[in-house]
């Protein structure tokens, strides 16, 4: 019996003949997430299993896995032989431990059985009944409530038996790299990193470009952007951040262009530069944090004029 992390995935199940490619990308992302814990990832029947992590580090490893796009949920589980008496005994231990964790002297519970291995002689309902009966007999203070239990013991019969009591939600979405690469216009506000996060959750690798207009924007503002990029990279993987010194272009626009056109012209030049940097780095799209009506300059007409400066598709999620 060994402690492992059981990982579920969602949308990838719908990918038909391309599913193995998406599964490999997800496995690669998870392997990178648990490498510092010494973990290894193995594909099973509809699940991934993360092994070789010290029990004291499983919680931290699960937190890392929950940030991986493509992961639907994770559970700290025990892997053991499909021996029903041993399973019942371990299930009772888990139920007792869960009561102690929740500081409950009395609690309602249920057992949820799942038989993926159809060669196993008991059905899912029979597994739940056998294990639940043993727990009820051997753990004081428990009563059965199949509709709204305070704790649930899960028993899955797959290649091995897997027992667990908790399910942590992941970020969902698609594995990074499954949908190409895009260039994010990253400012110091919240909108652009959120836009980058949303696009990355659909499987897009990100690079980012930031426009720095020193001395009109401070070094502190640039440091804020670096901090945002590092926070975003916790979910998207490493991000290459391109810093563009925009002061000369900005001053030329102020000196030579009508005042009412300054904002839209600067945005067009930012898009042109972003497209050039994107193409030089094999990006196939541009991402911004703009949204219609958020500020006076972000109307449908002005966004159309901004878009017309480039040929790459522009996403504003």
Structure tokens at 78: 């025990």
What is the value of pTM for the model shown? Answer: 0.86
Q: How far apart are the first and last CA of the chain?
A: 46
Mean pLDDT, the chain, integer: 92
- Do 298 and 234 meet the contact criterion of CB atoms below 8 Å apart? no
Structure tokens at 176: 């990074």
Structure tokens at 161: 């038996």
- Do 316 and 298 meet the contact criterion of CB atoms below 8 Å apart? no
3-state helix, strand, coil in the chain (%, to 5): 45, 25, 30
CA distance linking residue 75 with residue 35, whole number of Å: 18
Q: What pLDDT shows up at residue 296?
A: 67
Q: What pLDDT shows up at residue 16?
A: 74
Give me the residues of the chain with pLDDT under 50, please: none
Domain 2-169 annotated CATH 3.40.50.1100: no
- Do 26 and 48 meet the contact criterion of CB atoms below 8 Å apart? yes
Q: Give residue limits of the domains in the chain.
A: 2-169, 181-315
CA distance linking residue 175 with residue 165, whole number of Å: 27
CA nearest to 169, candidates 48, 80, 73: 73
Backbone angles phi, psi at 77, to 5 degrees: -130, 165
Burial of 284 (0-12, 13-18, 19+ CB in 10 A): middle
CA distance linking residue 254 with residue 244, whole number of Å: 18
How many CB atoms lie under 10 A from the CB of residue 226? Answer: 14
Backbone angles phi, psi at 276, to 5 degrees: -65, -45
CATH code linked to domain 181-315: 3.40.50.620
CA distance linking residue 78 with residue 91, whole number of Å: 10
Give the tens place of pLDDT for each residue, 214-258: 776 777 888 899 999 999 999 998 999 999 998 888 888 888 888
The bridge status of strand 181-185 relative to strand 286-287 is parallel
List strands edge to edge, sheet with 205-212.
241-245, 205-212, 181-185, 286-287, 314-315
Structure tokens at 86: 């041993």
CA nearest to 267, candidates 283, 282, 250, 284: 250
């Amino acid at each position: 019996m060994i402690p492992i992390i059981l990982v579920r995935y969602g949308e990838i199940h719908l990918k038909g003949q391309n599913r193995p490619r998406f599964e490999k990308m997800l496995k690669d992302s998870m392997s990178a997430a648990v490498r510092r814990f010494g973990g290894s990832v193995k594909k099973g029947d509809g699940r991934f299993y993360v092994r070789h992590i010290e029990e004291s580090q499983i919680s931290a490893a699960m937190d890392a896995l929950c940030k991986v796009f493509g992961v639907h949920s994770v559970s700290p589980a025990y892997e053991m032989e499909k021996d029903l008496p041993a399973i019942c005994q371990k299930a009772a231990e888990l139920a007792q431990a869960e009561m102690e964790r929740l500081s409950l002297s009395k609690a309602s519970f249920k057992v949820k059985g799942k038989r993926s291995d159809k060669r196993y002689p008991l059905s899912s309902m029979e597994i739940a009944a056998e294990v639940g009966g043993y727990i009820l007999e051997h753990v004081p203070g428990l009563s059965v409530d199949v509709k709204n239990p305070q704790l649930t013991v899960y028993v899955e019969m797959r290649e091995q038996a897997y027992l667990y009591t908790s399910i942590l939600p992941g970020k969902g979405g698609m594995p990074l790299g499954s949908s190409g690469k895009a260039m994010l216009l990253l400012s110091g506000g919240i909108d652009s990193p959120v836009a980058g996060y949303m696009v990355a959750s659909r499987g897009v690798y990100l690079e980012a470009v930031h426009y720095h207009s020193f001395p009109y924007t401070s070094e502190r503002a640039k440091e804020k952007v670096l901090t945002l990029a590092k926070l975003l990279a916790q979910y998207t993987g490493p991000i290459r951040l391109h810093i563009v010194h925009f002061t000369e272009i900005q001053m030329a626009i102020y000196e030579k262009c009508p005042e009412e056109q300054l904002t839209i012209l600067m945005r067009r030049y930012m898009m042109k530069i972003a497209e050039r940097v994107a193409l030089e780095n094999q990006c196939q799209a541009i991402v911004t944090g703009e949204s219609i009506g958020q500020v006076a300059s972000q109307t449908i007409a002005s966004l159309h004029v901004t878009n017309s400066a480039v040929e790459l598709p522009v996403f504003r999620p």
